[in-house]
Amino acid sequence: MGEAIVITSGKGGVGKTTTSANIGTALALQGKHICLVDTDIGLRNLDVVMGLENRIIYDLVDAAEGRCRVQQALIKDKRFDCLHLLPAAQTSDKSAVSTEQMKQMIEELKPDYDYIIIDCPAGIEQGYKNAVSGADQAIVVTTPDTSAVRDADRIVGLLEQEEMAPPKLVVNRVRRINEGDMLDVDDVVSTLAIDLLGMIVDDEEVLKAAHKGEPIVMNPNSRASLGYRNIARRILGESVPLMAIDQKKSFFSKVKSMLGLKA
Partner 1 sequence: MAQAPEVKQMSTGPAKNLVTIKGTKEGLTVILDDQCSFDDLTKELKEKISNDKQVFGDGPEVEVKVDAGYRYLLNHQKEKIKHLLEEAESILVGEFHSEVISKEEARREREETGLTAVTRIIRSGQILRIRGDVLLLGDVNPGGIVEATGNVYILGTLKGIARAGVEGRETSVVCASVMAPHQISISDAIFYAPSRYEKKESGPLFGEPVYAYIANQDLEISFEKTRLLNQFQSAAAAKQGETLST
CA 81 to chain centre: 20
Q: Is 238 exposed, middle or buried (0-12, 13-18, 19+ CB in 10 A)?
A: exposed
* Buried residues in 117-141 as b, exposed as e (16+ CB within 10 A): bbbbbbbbebbbbbbbbbbbbbbbb
Per DSSP (E only), the strands in the chain are 3-8, 34-38, 75-76, 83-86, 115-119, 137-142, 168-174, 195-201
157 is a contact residue toward partner 1 (CB under 8 A): yes
Applying CB under 8 A, the span of 20-28, 48-56, 129-137, 153-161 interacting with partner 1 comes to: 153-161
4 is a contact residue toward partner 1 (CB under 8 A): no
Applying CB under 8 A, the span of 112-120, 130-138, 154-162, 232-240 interacting with partner 1 comes to: 154-162
66 is a contact residue toward partner 1 (CB under 8 A): no
| Minimum separation from the CB atom of position 198 to partner 1 (A) | 22
154 is a contact residue toward partner 1 (CB under 8 A): yes
242 is a contact residue toward partner 1 (CB under 8 A): no
30 is a contact residue toward partner 1 (CB under 8 A): no
180 is a contact residue toward partner 1 (CB under 8 A): yes
- Candidates 92, 191, 219, 253: give the one binding partner 1 (CB under 8 A): 191
C-alpha to C-alpha distance for 197 and 231, rounded to whole angstroms: 6
Residue 108, number of CB atoms within 10 A of its CB: 14
Q: Where do contacts with partner 1 occur on this chain (CB under 8 A)?
A: 146, 150-151, 153-154, 156-158, 160, 180, 191-193
